[in-house]
């Protein structure tokens, strides 16, 4: 049995873990990172990156299919396109592989030792790692738990056969003719819309009164409209109950209490994610929990001295960039720097069609704090959006009425994910409506919608 000692041990090489390890290595901290799979975690391997690759392929295929029908307003005509999903998936896998190698290279550059295997706690300072060459014992002064999250499995729809999670959906070699999606949140709609564009007949089953319930109805209206245009059937106030005896249909209880069957070759279950806290021997150490998650303070410290936790395992929002920011902070704390978790806003993006971006407070949340001003600018009045056939959507700015401090920014539209950096920066810098309105935005760009929304809130929008 081999033993090694280090100052910092990071368990999990997802976005939070590998960023923590790289930053620690840059700061001269003797660091070891343990990962059972490939570097990059869920986000890089079976989440953010591969799903965006599939979404992009679906968008391109739909564009060409539309042109083949002779309906393109751009005047472009092509012959009927054919999609080879296996080849698409191979392209996606190539991107993931390159990024895996990139992360491994960055860890090596930062002089971080990587141990491949599954870590189990012995105590708050020691873990055992089952590697290909035998048991490795690692003793560390400080440990960071970055074990991430996994898809929630429904007891009456266990994964296997036709029932798949997002992981399996991203590895399909053929487009299913009929796809039932259980859960109308961002993961379900992102993948459901992508498969609909590739030719699948998609049905979404959502237990709540509307899809994307975490966003306000005004923001999601363009997405709901697009679902209908893609021929996606949406069943709200409906509950999945199981799978038919022939494994060819999803059993559903509809909004009126009746039983129904949704024909499906594949059933994609996307009802949320859960923290990965099992199998790590966490019962050997005493950590306070917040429900299923590990409880942490504003410095990501757990209830046990010398043990930190970052990323999805610590709760919502389960976002890769949140985990990265926490990982960087923890590394600097371990190095003796004065840091804390004081983010004003963490932008969140939903890569549906059209895309959604939120940062800071929603109008409802802001109203609860006092009187507000709201400025909304539609992309129907934006020249760049019009030239991209992306007029459906808007930018909305929410600010305090008294001093015009910006509290929240939301957008829905084609490509608005790229505006998230500007939104986050404005909130972090404590911008007021006058700051945004007075910043010269390049023309013609969709970013002009941000400036115009601020002008609208001030009462003198120029282009509406």
Domains and their CATH numbers in the chain: 2-49+88-150+274-334 (3.50.50.60), 163-271 (3.50.50.60), 348-458 (3.30.390.30)
pLDDT at 284: 86
Q: Over the stretch 224-241, which tens digit does the pLDDT of each residue have?
A: 999 999 999 999 999 999
Q: Over the stretch 394-442, which tens digit does the pLDDT of each residue have?
A: 999 999 999 999 999 999 999 999 999 999 999 999 999 999 999 999 9
Task: Provide the strand spans (E) within 106-257.
Answer: 113-116, 118-123, 126-131, 134-145, 149-151, 163-164, 178-182, 201-205, 233-235, 239-243, 249-253
pLDDT at 230: 98
Q: Shortest CA distance to 349 belongs to which of 327, 321, 370?
A: 321
Virtual torsion, Cα 444, 447, 448, 451, nearest 10 deg: -160
Catalytic choice (404, 443, 460, 463): 443
Q: Over the stretch 360-369, which tens digit does the pLDDT of each residue have?
A: 999 999 999 9
pLDDT at 335: 98
For the stretch 428-463, what's the b/e string if a residue is b when 16 or more beta carbons lie within 10 angstroms of its beta carbon?
eeebbbeebbeeebeeebbbbbbbbbbbbbbeebee
If 0-12 CB within 10 Å is exposed, 13-18 middle and 19+ buried, where does residue 365 land? middle
pLDDT at 341: 84
Output the six-digit token pair for 189. 């709609």
Catalytic residue list contains 460: no
Residue segments in the chain with a per-residue pLDDT below the cut of 50:
none
pLDDT at 222: 98
Would you tell me the crossing angle of helices 85-109 and 15-26 to the nearest 10 degrees?
Answer: 30
């Amino acid at each position: 049995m081999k033993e090694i000692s280090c100052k910092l041990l990071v368990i999990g090489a997802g976005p939070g873990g590998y960023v923590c390890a790289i930053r620690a290595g840059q700061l001269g901290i003797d660091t070891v990172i343990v990962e059972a799979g490939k570097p990059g975690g869920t986000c890089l391997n079976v989440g953010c990156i591969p799903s965006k690759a599939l979404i992009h392929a679906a968008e391109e295929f739909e564009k060409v299919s539309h042109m083949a029908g002779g309906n393109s307003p751009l005047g472009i005509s092509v012959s009927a396109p054919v999609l080879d999903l296996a080849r698409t998936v191979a392209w996606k896998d190539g991107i993931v592989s390159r990024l895996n190698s990139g992360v491994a290279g960055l860890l090596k550059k930062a002089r971080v030792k990587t141990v491949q295997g599954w870590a189990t706690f012995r105590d708050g300072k020691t873990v055992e790692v089952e590697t290909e060459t035998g048991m490795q014992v690692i003793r560390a002064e400080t440990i960071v738990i970055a074990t991430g999250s996994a898809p929630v499995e429904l007891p009456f729809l266990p994964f296997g056969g036709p029932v798949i999670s997002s992981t399996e959906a991203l590895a399909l070699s053929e487009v299913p003719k009929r796809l039932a999606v259980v859960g109308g949140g961002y993961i379900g709609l992102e993948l459901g819309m992508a498969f609909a564009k590739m030719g699948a007949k998609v049905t979404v089953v959502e237990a709540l009164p509307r899809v994307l319930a975490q966003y306000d109805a005004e923001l999601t209206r363009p997405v709901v409209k697009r679902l209908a245009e893609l021929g996606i059937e949406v069943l709200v106030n409906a509950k999945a109950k199981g799978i038919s005896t022939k494994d060819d249909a999803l059993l559903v209880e509809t909004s009126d209490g009746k039983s129904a069957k949704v024909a499906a070759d594949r059933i994609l279950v996307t009802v949320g994610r859960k923290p990965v806290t099992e199998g790590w021997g966490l019962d050997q150490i005493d950590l306070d929990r917040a429900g299923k998650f590990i409880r942490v303070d504003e410095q990501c410290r757990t209830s046990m001295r010398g043990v930190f936790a970052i990323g999805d395992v610590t709760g919502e929002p389960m976002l890769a960039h949140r985990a990265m920011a926490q990982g960087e902070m923890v590394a600097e704390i371990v190095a003796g720097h004065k840091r804390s978790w004081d983010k004003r806003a963490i932008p969140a993006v939903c890569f549906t069609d059209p895309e959604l971006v939120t940062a800071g407070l929603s109008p409802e949340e802001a109203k609860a704090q006092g009187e507000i001003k709201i400025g909304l600018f539609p992309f129907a009045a934006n020249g760049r959006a019009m030239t991209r056939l992306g007029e459906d959507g808007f930018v909305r700015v929410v600010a305090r009425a008294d001093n015009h401090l910006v509290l929240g920014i939301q957008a829905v539209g084609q490509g608005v994910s790229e505006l998230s950096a500007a939104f986050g920066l404005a909130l972090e810098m404590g911008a007021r409506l006058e700051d945004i309105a007075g910043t010269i935005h390049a023309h013609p760009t969709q970013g002009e919608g941000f400036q115009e929304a601020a002008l609208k809130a001030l009462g003198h929008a120029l282009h509406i």
